[in-house]
Structure 1
Amino acid sequence: MNKKIIYMLIFSAFAFFATNFQHVVTPSYLNTIGLKESHYGFLFAFMALGMSISSPISGRIGDKYGTRLTIFFGFIGYAISQFLFGTFTNIYALVFVRLTAGLSISASSTNMISYLTKVSTPERRAKVMSYYVAGILLFVSVAYKFGGELGIFLPARTVIYLHALTCLIIAFISLLLPNLKGNSQVIEKVKFKEVINGKLLTLLFVNLLAVMAFTSSVRFMEVYVINIGFTTQTLGNYVFISGLVTIIFTSLILPFISSRVKEPIIMKLLLLIGGLALWSTFNLFDNILIGLYSTFILFNMVKSGYDPMHNSYISKIDEDNQGQVIGISQSFKALGMVLGLIIGGYLYAYDKELVFNASAVLILVGFIILQLIKGDKNESKIFGAPNIK
């Protein structure tokens, strides 16, 4: 495997550890400073809004000037924003630093994905993206376990400060990555009409629906578990175990499948299974832990598998401007996070389980829309695909 791919896979795994171990204590932290449950989704929605704004811009910058410095400055900005998030208690100040955190981290995450698509061949790209997600899942699982244990012994604010320091260290480590030279011929502005066709737009819209559902379900599952009386340690243990199971899927099963089955077919299957699994978790089990450790783990497997298949598929649309294509996709993804968190916050405040049932419906709607995308003969054998080119 290309050394640049290996270096980025290792770096991204540690980077996602650094950016995730604080999540398990964040609900407790927001409770201690007196924020309402609806504010939880509102704050994270502003971070997603920042990501939506930044993604296509940072993707273009990475294409034109190189990826390494874009990743570096992204992590610097994110570390500063996270430090301020642990310092401020005023809701307006917190909203501002959430926005800057999104603007910053998107520059890093977009160019990390773009980096991998640029140094991998189209034939191996789905497998590389599967390994990317598998590494992230492993280290995110460890991060949640680590954060859950820290939450027992340290104040939540201290954990957030430690998280900011770790992200600062990651920023300087990024300078050790082999750089990819920019392309001076990259267009100065993102011209959506020149990049997006009907097929890509449909894929982006389906991804937006899926991300809305994935984000609201996973984020409010964390809040739900704490609100019904479980500890951060219980949450950390669950995420750790769920992550390990999902890692097996993304590192072993998904690469095997993706080398034999085309991405669109996999995407359709994942959405169908994911929607049904999510609905089952909150409707078929009296004991929520049984649901979490069975069908919700299956849902997490689907969530982790859909993103690499989507990224691999759309990256083949424009090989010369992959950063822009990925950036536009990340912008739609971030918009889905914004909508999912804002709408999910109000649904959760109204009825804690409604947010999960609504998300299941969105995923199944996405599955239905994918049937409209015209594919090749192999795709039509399974689901059919009538008309959108």
Structure 2
Amino acid sequence: MNSQFKKVMIFSSLIFITANFHHPVNPTYFTMLDLPSHVFGTSFAVMVFASFLTSPLWGSWGDNKSRKMTLVYSTILYGTSQLLYGMANNIWQILIMRGIAGLFTGGFMVGLMAMVVDVSTEEKRGERIATYSALMSVSMAVGFLTGGALGYLPIRYVFFIQGAVMILIGIGIYIFMDESNKPLRKGSKPQFIWNILGDKEKREAVFTPWILSFLGITFFAFIAYSSNNNAFNYYLRDELNFEPIVNGIWKATTGIIGLVANLTINVWIVRKTELKTSLRVLLGLALMAATMIYLKDSTYPFMLWSLLYFTFHTILFPLLQNFAVEDSHHGAGFMSGIFNAIKALGEMSGAIIAGFAYGLGSKVPFLLSAAALLIALILGLIQLMPRNKDKRLARESKNI
């Protein structure tokens, strides 16, 4: 592991730990402000919609300008937005500050993913993305656990602490990290996103049938994850009456399991299997777990199937990331940005679904999550059809 990759991993862990401080205390914050139940979904949806709009721009800016400064600006501005979020007093202030935060989350999400590609050879890229995803998973879990523990402080303090720490991380990136943008060092910059999207030939070269299927799978997989995750967080508080620390411990547990799974199962998948086949298998397993979450009402079976579902998603995520950057001819930031935009659009849709469907019944978001995974699996299986048809025609031609 070279020094550049180590630095990326260190700052990635710090960012994802800090960015998750607020999640376990949000339900308590919303309850304290006497907000309607849908706000846990709609506020998240506003944030990820803003991320959807800006992620391709952050990616393209990082390709053409500076990957390092993408991280510096996005982390400092996100931290500032969280300071202001902690001062909110009504639903409109909550939604506005979530939207402002979303403008900058795409910056560090896209920038970090592109940096992993920058500092990796093609042979090592799959394994390093798996390592990055594993670290992201456990860091998010540590962030949830830390946020849950901080929840014993006055709730607003959690957001103030989060904002201040994120600003310090941005300053640390500026001081200690190196520029990883290879095209920038070589002097040959990729084109901006609007130049690619505006040229029919280039657009068709990028958005092949497989890429379009892959983006559809990503979209529905993250509808499922966001609907499940947002409803799960609120369900623990609303139906099971768990304290924020329980949510934090739970996320820490899933993070540790995800870490082990990514460093073992995922590395084995990358090295030993055909990735598209593995993708379909994981979608099928996630669908099974999501369906059982909906069907099980007792606390222990519900929690067990939730654990399995989040584990399958944790393994699925780096596979999707790997597909996104397998061809970085147009810039790692460009493809990372497109992937993160579609991911954010799915998360936004899932959050809206969870927020409003929860009002129809506390288990309805989990049913809709399973339905979204079924669509993702169908898209993955449809993508097999042209290949199977080609194989059949080849066999028939040999028999003639």
How far, CA to CA, are the matches of 2:59 and 2:344 in structure 1? 14
In the alignment, is residue 161 of structure 1 matched against residue 171 of structure 2?
Answer: no
> Which runs of 5 or more structure 1 residues have no equivalent in the other structure?
none
Matched pairs, number = 378
In the alignment, is residue 277 of structure 1 matched against residue 292 of structure 2?
Answer: no
- Per-residue CA deviations over 1:154-190 (Å, capped at 9, x if unaligned) read 0111111111111111111212211124255321343
- Alignment match of 1:196 (pick from 187, 190, 207): 207
Deviates more, 1:248-257 or 1:221-230: 248-257
Match of 2:342 in 1: 332
| TM norm structure 1 | 0.92
- Per-residue CA deviations over 1:66-114 (Å, capped at 9, x if unaligned) read 2000110001110111111110213222222211111111111101001
| TM norm structure 2 | 0.90
How far, CA to CA, are the matches of 1:313 and 1:141 in structure 2? 25
Give matches, 1:1-389, under 5 Å: 1-152=1-152, 154-175=153-174, 176-181=176-181, 182=184, 184-190=188-194, 191-192=196-197, 193-194=203-204, 195-228=206-239, 229-283=241-295, 285-292=296-303, 294-374=304-384
Q: Secondary structure at the match of 1:179?
A: coil
How far, CA to CA, are the matches of 1:357 and 1:227 in structure 2? 18
How far, CA to CA, are the matches of 2:309 and 2:214 in structure 1? 20
Q: Secondary structure at the match of 1:87?
A: coil
Q: Secondary structure at the match of 1:241?
A: helix
Q: CA deviation at 1:214?
A: 0.4
Q: Secondary structure at the match of 1:371?
A: helix
Q: Is the Cα–Cα contact under 8 Å of residues 46 and 95 in structure 2 kept in the other structure?
A: yes
Q: Is the Cα–Cα contact under 8 Å of residues 269 and 275 in structure 2 kept in the other structure?
A: no
> Which runs of 5 or more structure 2 residues have no equivalent in the other structure?
198-202, 394-400
- Per-residue CA deviations over 1:112-141 (Å, capped at 9, x if unaligned) read 001111221233222111111111122222
Deviates more, 1:2-11 or 1:190-199: 190-199
Q: CA deviation at 1:291?
A: 2.5
- Per-residue CA deviations over 1:264-292 (Å, capped at 9, x if unaligned) read 12211111000111111231x34223321
How far, CA to CA, are the matches of 2:350 and 2:344 in structure 1? 10
Q: CA deviation at 1:374?
A: 4.2
Q: Is the Cα–Cα contact under 8 Å of residues 372 and 385 in structure 1 kept in the other structure?
A: no
- The share of aligned pairs that are identical, in percent, is 24
**Which has the larger Rg?**
2
The runs of at least 4 consecutive aligned structure 1 residues that moved more than 3 Å come to: 374-377
Aligned-residue CA RMSD (Å): 2.0
